Structure 1
């Protein structure tokens, strides 16, 4: 009689079971996010906290015979293992913590003196300096502040505190712990439509920005000695990598192992961004999660489950200390360590509880964490390992057992998990977040990650061993570096090759945060459902009706792509009231002139005008340094790949222009100055020449075959005599006064169309002065487009 086959264990959803800390963390996060949206004072949240707590106590303690007790029990759900009132308490606690953490901008706060004249402040550099090519950033904790002019000071200078970001020219030596005296003007950080630098700094405790100040060193070694020692060790480790490895391999390892990616060339950084693999060149939750899974698997095999988990946590902690102990690394290490401890008993429920406990504690300590990208990546990567690492291992064993023996499959699953499956589990959870935040990620990332991620465990482990050994025994470190070098070089060569593939510039379109929520909701719903219900749900999702809808959507997408293909004509589209102009060449190239005031409006316009799935600019021409002509670029530069930028004006005249310069440098976009007489060729005989350039504007001349257009940008002044020929199309700049209108020249040129970009108040007198001329105003149309085949010309507008 054959032996009965062992009964297969019933598979349960990882969300089934008692998960108090996981749900408490979600509730507190919900309270923090709600407090950010709803202006409820801290005492209001505290009152809600006390009411919920009181209702819970009364529901527990009041006699059951009272009708009030039954109402309270039903309201608080006190009979459940995790009462609903406890979740309400956590929500109110999170809201109170966020509201209480918001600084009051009083005369005792440095931000109170923003935009109020010159000040002299004394403070300490509380973070390692951020050295960039164009600027050095110092985070300074203010100890005293004195107003030098323009505003009457109300309090004692020594009573003023707050955080300030000081930006200065590169070249000087600065260090953590320096006490410095800074003289300059405090400013409110810029607040764009799609990206608020003001909110970004505020969540880091910084309320003021000071650019190009006068700085004097007052005192050294004022910082925490333990932090100072860690930062010194960090600098020594970077120097050791530069000794052991050639460049750019040393720079890549400095980013992967130590979080310092400034040494990578702009071209290589752009290649990593384009292929969607930028997350590997800086320490993030993704890297720590991979290390956590690797340490846990390795030590568990060597020492057993419990001692292996403790050894893995110790290794993660040592790594966090070694790389400098910065706040983002510590958060990622805590997440990774809690995930490892949660899995000590082999149940995913423990991992979810541990992860929730870590997130709850950190969010209550720093309520600004939910907006920190590093925190989001840490949580997502660790959650991916907790939820999906074990199912992926089980799937691999079943798949491999069909081709080899089950015993061999069990032995093989360890290395495969460490070098592939753990990476895949973390990648599934983090990729949507990276695409949402960083933008510009190409479709090529679907090919790049499977090719580049598997050897990253070897890059981190072998590179880390070479670094540790090199610090103590340089000779032995050099031997290990030779072993690690091929994997690091493979990463760089593969990324560079993939970034050069035809069509790699076609990036994922930007999307609303709601789609991010929908993705994770669907993913968690499928994870939450038991296997039988999951199969039924997937069967419904992939039904014929859904297939028809997908086919219809694909048809619309294809036709949209066909209709947006180049038509052999030149198109000049006036996008806004500031004169922002999109030039599309006959073969599909694109040139953007200006940026306008609204990043969201410019992003939307480019999304409509540029080919579907191919948002890309060959050239960006900046002919005005006015704030109103640059604000729109702050978000566009991050979302739309740009091959080259051209500055026809001085980019160092104000904070907005300097921000654009820094963003271009961060995105790896080469930016070149251009003076009067410079000519740019855009292919097929299209030429753009700078006829005149001043301090605040420039005059551009566009020529293609028999078509000519004059394009003033910014404040052009008296420069209308520089035109080499009568233009077919005349673009009038924003801010033009009637007295400055060159009516005599316009009459002499007799242009076929005059395009006016102005606000409603400015447009009325100009329209009156140009009565009888072929005028087309932006006030009448949403956008205005001039098209030419080189001989004739057509004008089209949108109502």
Structure 2
């Protein structure tokens, strides 16, 4: 059996075993399981020595399952090592560092906080863990790296019938919520970690860029262009979000492998005059810069990795090597954080998108031979639709509804996405040099964004556009 097949079988077994273990998470698994896997591996190793292929696979199976057990046990121990949950259902004062972008609608804000200390009547008690701070005092007041004191009621997250809030927060390493907190700055002499300092700088740059978009474009097109370029959805009205959900277009404003594949398509088209191998490095650099620009969060880094895999697929031109690269990427990401495989829709959508680009994208490019390559239209259209085809089943299973109008809405909206992204970005940057020039360049980007929002608005009104499962 070829090494590539053995590797694919090993990774596939590991992913399947890890997926099943979400329903049996323990900090340590019974000794009889390890004994059984050890015996299975021993007989498999003997089979390998005697070149008995069926028995050799026993070794691969035992090794992959053992690694899955260790991965889940390690993640469970890490979660249980947090001491902050022991203070649940208490009014408490926390001291810590803001570690992420605020969420929520003004005037409220939700801040992820890495907690270092608890203040109990003047006594500082060291603790570990991350908490979501619920603040109604203003928007936005605190940034990544700010050290704050927050007082409120510490509670466990509550789930609803259609949304598991516990799983959602656990993906971010958060276990508790501090309700209606009173927040004040509490600077300490401790220097910020280099990673926090970098993320703080990137956040400031992104907020400046978003403010430029809001100056240049009217709503709701400004919110859409911001979502396409940075993944930020705070500016979306509830009605627009509902329209996008009903028409299957929400994925456009969630940073995943889909967004990065659009960037790849745009650059591939703009650099059509270069040989394929010379396009590789500009595309990789663009993906890295985009990843840093939008904040370099875990989900964005994952999307960037998926995008690089897509570029690598085009560069190698060997689908078998590309498939193995995708599998190894999934393996290491799951090994690092198995919760991604279980509950992270972005993780699942990113892999589905890159599979679509590598498997279906080349076929669609041949089908779109008559589409002009101007501004990378053909490449980006093929990449976008290919990603839609493979992400549709994941979206249905994740969100529990089927948008019957989604195929039509995506066909109508997809050609406008790269135009809105490219000209929206160029117009915004040129507005810094001379605002009227930015308006002139961004006008076509505004038209493309308006086409997308109007497509969503009109098609969302079609009877039975979306059907719940």
1:318 to 279, 286, 289: 289
- Measured in 2, the distance between the counterparts of 1:298 and 1:19 equals 37
Counterpart among 444, 450, 460 of residue 489 in structure 1: 450
Of 230-239 and 325-334, deviating more is 325-334
Alignment of 1:145 onto 2:118: yes
Higher helix share: 2
One of 114, 121, 145 as aligned partner of 2:94? 121
Query: What is the match of residue 21 of structure 2?
Result: 35
Q: Distance in 2 between matches of 1:356 and 1:273?
A: 30
Counterpart of 1:171 (choices 134, 138, 151) is 138
Could you tell which deviates more after superposition, 455-464 or 40-49? 40-49
Partner of 1:97: 71
Match of 2:215 in 1: 243
Say which SS state the counterpart of residue 218 (structure 2) adopts. Answer: coil
**2:408 maps to 1:438:** no
Residue 125 (structure 2) aligned to one of 157, 165, 176? 157
Distance 1:387 1:20, change over 3 A: farther
Whether the aligned pair in 1 keeps the contact of 2:372 and 2:378 (CA below 8 Å) is: no
Matched, 1:368 2:339: yes
CA contact (8 A) 2:96 2:117 kept: yes
Tell me whether 1:457 sits opposite 2:418 in the alignment.
Answer: yes
Q: Highest CA radius of gyration, 1 or 2?
A: 1
- 1:212-361, aligned counterparts within 5 Å? 212-219=180-187, 222=192, 224-296=196-268, 298-299=270-271, 301-361=272-332
Per-residue CA distance 1:255-280 (angstroms, 9 max, x = gap): 11011121122222222122221211
CA 1:444/1:247 → structure 2, altered by over 3 Å: closer, same or farther? same
Q: How much does 1:445 deviate?
A: 2.3
Distance 1:39 1:234, change over 3 A: closer
Task: Indicate the SS of the match to 1:157.
Answer: strand
* In structure 2, C-alpha distance between the alignment counterparts of 1:303 and 1:465, rounded to whole Å: 22
CA gap of 1:88–1:342, structure 2 versus 1, over 3 A, is farther
Task: Return closer, same or farther for 1:203/1:486 CA change in 2, 3 Å cut-off.
Answer: closer
* Aligned position for 1:418: 379
Measured in 1, the distance between the counterparts of 2:27 and 2:80 equals 17
Mark the CA change 1:296 to 1:50 in structure 2 (over 3 Å): closer, same or farther.
farther
Aligned counterpart, 2:430: 469
Q: Which residue of 2 aligns with 1:75?
A: 55
Q: Which has the higher contact order (CA 8 A, sep 6+)?
A: 2
Instruction: Provide the C-alpha distance between the structure 2 equivalents of 1:222 and 1:415, rounded to a whole number of angstroms.
Output: 42
Distance in 1 between the 2:416 and 2:117 partners? 51
Matches within 5 A, 1:554-569: none
Deviations, residues 288-308 of structure 1 (Å, cap 9, x unaligned): 223234434554x33322222
SS in 2 for 1:369: helix
Within 1, Cα distance between the matches of 2:18 and 2:389?
Answer: 26
For residue 86 of structure 2, the aligned residue among 95, 102, 112 is: 112
Deviation at residue 123 of structure 1 after TM alignment = 1.1
Counterpart contact for 1:20–1:353, Cα < 8 Å:
no
- Structure 2 residue 136 is the aligned partner of structure 1 residue 186: no
Q: How far apart, in 1, do the equivalents of 2:267 and 2:37 lie?
A: 41
What TM-score, normalized to structure 2? 0.87
> Partner of 2:109 in structure 1?
136
Aligned equivalents of 2:35, 2:137: Cα separation in 1: 50
| Aligned CA distance change for structure 1 residues 247 and 47 (closer, same or farther; 3 Å) | farther
What's the secondary structure of 2:385's corresponding residue? Answer: helix
Does structure 2 retain, via aligned residues, the 8 Å contact 1:105–1:112? no
1:404-463 deviation per Cα after TM superposition (whole angstroms, max 9, x unaligned): xxxxx6987996632432222111111222233334554232322211122112112222
Residue in 2 aligned with 1:544?
Answer: none
| Equivalent position SS for 2:355 | helix
Change (3 A) 1:105 1:297: closer
Structure 2 alignment gaps of length 5 or more: none
Q: Which moved more, 1:322-331 or 1:105-114?
A: 105-114
Contact kept in structure 1, 2:100 and 2:144, CA below 8 Å: yes
Q: Residue in 1 aligned with 2:467? A: 508
User: How many Å apart are 1:226 and its aligned residue?
Assistant: 1.1
Work out the CA distance in 2 between the residues paired with 1:374 and 1:259: 12
